[in-house]
Amino acid sequence: MYKKGIWFIMEWVWKLVYVNLVWILFCLPVITIIPSTFALLAVANKWFKEDEEIDIFPTFWKQFKGLFWKSYLYGLTFIIIGFFLFLNLQLVNNGELDGPFFLTVHYALLVTSILYCVTMIYSVPLYLNFGFSVHKTLFFGLMVALKQPIITIMVLIGVLLTILAFVFITGFGFLFVGSLPALMMCKSNHYAMKKLKLT
């Protein structure tokens, strides 16, 4: 039993490292980061939706090609919204803008930004499972995030810790910076779908 447990852990570590390296390879042209990330999440999603024993590289390549153009529509929309929120927060944080009105706007933007971040945890996995339009993907992503706040917070913390590991423990972070957050996002989404009886 002990050996089986060790083997199980090592097998998952290998899967995460392998798909992460494939993701990094496909991200090297830079302009392919968005479809590469969608393909990474598609692989992680299949681990929970179908079969853990999928062929990682062929599956990644198939998803990369199949999602290539559509991923830009969704990915760029998500990035533009995030950038817009960030830009507005920076403007409101400017010392020249003061008073109760700007303080209210500041907190409203801060809350909106946090909600947007937690929405992103579920948005791409939801699209991969149901093929929702952009606005429906965002809406249902937010609904799922609010439906299970504790799990959402845990995933958010896990993603942030992985990013911090990448920054401060470069070797470890390099091996898991994409795959570990993808695994957590898809696992939490799969759990939510089962809980809401949508699978």
d(Cα 86, Cα 69) in Å, to the nearest integer? 26
Q: Residue 1: its pLDDT value, please?
A: 62
d(Cα 99, Cα 121) in Å, to the nearest integer? 34
Name which of 18, 10, 120, 11 is nearest 59 in CA terms: 18
Mean pLDDT confidence for 186-198 = 81
d(Cα 87, Cα 196) in Å, to the nearest integer? 35
Residue 93 has pLDDT above 80, yes or no: no
| Residue found under tokens 């706040």 | 149
Q: Residue 197: its pLDDT value, please?
A: 67
Q: Residue 3: its pLDDT value, please?
A: 66
pLDDT in tens, 39-83: 999 999 998 876 557 899 999 999 999 999 999 999 999 999 999
Residue 168: pLDDT band with limits 50, 70, 90: confident
Residue 2: pLDDT band with limits 50, 70, 90: low
pLDDT in tens, 95-148: 566 677 777 888 889 999 999 999 999 999 999 999 999 999 999 999 999 888
Global pTM value = 0.89
d(Cα 64, Cα 23) in Å, to the nearest integer? 10
pLDDT in tens, 170-179: 777 788 999 9
Q: Residue 106: its pLDDT value, please?
A: 81
The DSSP result for 16-36, as a single string, is HHHHHHHHHHHHTTSTTHHHH
Task: Please list, in sequence order, all residues whose beta carbon lies within 8 angstroms of the beta carbon of residue 82, skipping any fewer than 6 positions away.
Answer: 116, 120
DSSP state of 102: H
Mean pLDDT confidence for 181-189 = 91
| Whether the Cβ atoms of residue 121 and residue 145 lie closer than 8 Å to each other | yes
d(Cα 134, Cα 119) in Å, to the nearest integer? 12
Q: Residue 169: its pLDDT value, please?
A: 77
Mean pLDDT confidence for 24-46 = 94
**Angle separating helix axes 149-168 and 134-147, nearest 10 degrees:** 100
Q: Residue 85: its pLDDT value, please?
A: 92
